[in-house]
Amino acid sequence: MTRHAPERMPESAALDLERVRADFPVLHQRVHGRPLVYLDNGATTQKPLAVIEALSGYYRHDNANVHRAVHTLAQRATDAYEAARQRVARFIGAQAPNEVVFVRGTTEAINLVAWSFLRPRLRAGDEIILTGLEHHSNIVPWQLVAEETGARLRVVPVDEQGALILDDFESLFNARTRMLAMAHVSNALGTILPVQEMTDVARRHGVPVLIDGAQAVAHQTVDVQAIGCDFYAFSGHKMYGPTGIGALWGRMSHLQAMRPYQGGGEMIRRVSFEGSEYAPPPARFEAGTPHIAGAVGLGAAVSYLEAIGPDAAGAHERDLLQYATRRAQEIPGLRVIGTAEPKAAILSFVLEGIHAHDVGTILDTEGVAVRVGHLCAMPVMQRFGVPAVARASFAVYNTRDEVDRLIAGLWKVNEVFGR
Ligand code: PLP
């Protein structure tokens, strides 16, 4: 197939793409004189009008501090904040809203569990199981608590395609295992992990499980009860919501047993200089004035996603991934990193002999935004023997025409480098 004969197929029938795209004002602009093609959704997604207007509406009409005053605006702000918690809880299948702690994002959620839940239980010689395809946010917090206590990390290996090698998974568990933490979907490879099966194994050994859902929640239905995990972490900004807000879901029995992570206003029941009594979860973990507008925006993002359906969004994105992967094979020198199935709509690749930063810079001049670098997953780069990759990651508003623009941009990169 030549570069001038792209394979044309109908766009996903399930979605009214034109309507979806109309919801995202930022998409309708030119970058370097070309219509923007935004394919950096794994880093952060764009925001629909519903979210932008929820933020604006909150600040225009309801802004006040939460849980603190009896006046009308304070009541409205509190209601809006707690309504967002309810929406998030329902969205992921939590049993009750109080199992949802609002945090800054996935990173803070994992740190909260590492320090509040695991740290007090950890002794020298204990073990934490991670996988070889984790984002740094699901490595470093565990490393920090392990360093403090003399515990150690054990890592599930990754094969050539980017799947976990699970043959010996169960043998990693022993009497010293204190935690299993794993991604739901790899941000670098797109691999969807068999989280339910792996959680079953951990539970057989009485080991609590945290799942990093940063790359999952916007692209498939997530049901924390069905997975059977103990904690589930995700970020609002990767699911069409605002930055600075995310959620940690945890089993109430765990949350109740956890010490606060930070002290301050809102997280106490009673304070004296002799000692303080902590509020029950989730307030116990939400010290200080929270990101109220962010939570309201996240609630709006949840409603937006629910109206489309995360599974419908995921199906459309996987369709784009298959198309993009096929067309990428036309590009001389291109190697896809991460070919394991099942796979979410993340296409990481290297162009032989060309640095990923050059790929990203040239694509940008064509109006195409991709992520380049180690993707905060250096162990994955080491596993595949590359210093960096370029990554196109798809969202519900992307189109086949945009994939064609990416492919044309990659031909341009090769041309610039005389290939
Ligand atoms: N985990 C995964 C799999 C991610 O992709 C990311 C962000 O790229 C994170 C964690 C960190 O998310 P945040 O920066 O929103 O805390």
**pLDDT at 11 (0 to 100):** 57
Compute, in degrees rounded to 10, the torsion defined by CA atoms 163, 167, 169, 172: -130
- What type of residue is 61? H
CA of 128 to the centre of ligand 1 (A): 20
Contacts of residue 215, Cβ cutoff 8 Å, sequence gap at least 6: 42, 183, 184, 185, 186, 187, 238, 344, 346
- Average pLDDT of 383-388? 95
Does the structure show a pLDDT above 60 at 9?
no
Cα distance between residue 326 and residue 387, in whole Å: 24
Q: What is the domain partition of the chain in residue ranges?
A: 17-48+309-416, 53-306
Cβ atoms 361, 410 nearer than 8 A: no
Cβ atoms 348, 336 nearer than 8 A: yes
pLDDT tens for residues 297-310?
Answer: 999 999 999 999 99
**pLDDT at 261 (0 to 100):** 87
pLDDT tens for residues 114-143?
Answer: 999 999 999 999 999 999 999 999 999 999
The CATH code of the domain at 17-48+309-416 is 3.90.1150.10
Does the structure show a pLDDT above 50 at 3?
no
Cα distance between residue 170 and residue 361, in whole Å: 44
Cα distance between residue 230 and residue 215, in whole Å: 18
CA of 106 to the centre of ligand 1 (A): 6
Cα distance between residue 223 and residue 200, in whole Å: 15
Quick check: CB of 40 below 6 Å from ligand 1? Answer: no
The CATH code of the domain at 53-306 is 3.40.640.10
**pLDDT at 15 (0 to 100):** 86
Cα distance between residue 52 and residue 57, in whole Å: 8
**pLDDT at 187 (0 to 100):** 98
Cα distance between residue 367 and residue 99, in whole Å: 42
Respond yes or no on whether the N-terminal peptide bond of residue 310 is cis (omega within 30° of 0): no
Smallest CA separation from ligand 1 atom 5, residue: 187
Neighbours of 7 (CB within 10 A): 11
Atom of ligand 1 nearest to the CA of 185: 3
Does the structure show a pLDDT above 90 at 334?
yes
**pLDDT at 107 (0 to 100):** 98
Cα distance between residue 24 and residue 77, in whole Å: 26
Cα distance between residue 166 and residue 158, in whole Å: 9
Quick check: CB of 41 below 6 Å from ligand 1? Answer: no
pLDDT tens for residues 160-209?
Answer: 999 999 999 999 999 999 999 999 999 999 999 999 999 999 999 999 99
**pLDDT at 358 (0 to 100):** 98
Length of the chain: 419
Does the structure show a pLDDT above 70 at 1?
no
**Angle CA 232–250–93, to nearest 5:** 70
- Average pLDDT of 92-104? 98
- What type of residue is 316? H
- Half-sphere exposure (CA, 13 Å, Cβ side) for 143? 8
Weakest-pLDDT range from 11-15, 126-130, 184-188, 264-268:
11-15
Q: What residues are labeled active site?
A: 376
Quick check: CB of 212 below 6 Å from ligand 1? Answer: yes
* pLDDT grade for 266, boundaries at 50, 70 and 90: confident
- Backbone torsions φ then ψ of 310, nearest 5 degrees: -60, -35
Atom of ligand 1 nearest to the CA of 109: 16
Closest by Cα among 391, 361, 364 to 376: 391
Does the structure show a pLDDT above 90 at 13?
no
Atom of ligand 1 nearest to the CA of 134: 3
User: Percentage of residues in the chain with pLDDT exceeding 90?
Assistant: 92
What is the greatest pairwise CA distance in the chain? Answer: 76
CA of 105 to the centre of ligand 1 (A): 8
Report the chain's mean pLDDT, rounded to a whole number.
95
Residue 43: Cβ-neighbour burial (10 angstroms; 0-12, 13-18, 19+): middle
Cα distance between residue 246 and residue 286, in whole Å: 12
Structure tokens at 266: 């809102």
Closest by Cα among 379, 377, 388 to 188: 377
Quick check: CB of 105 below 6 Å from ligand 1? Answer: yes
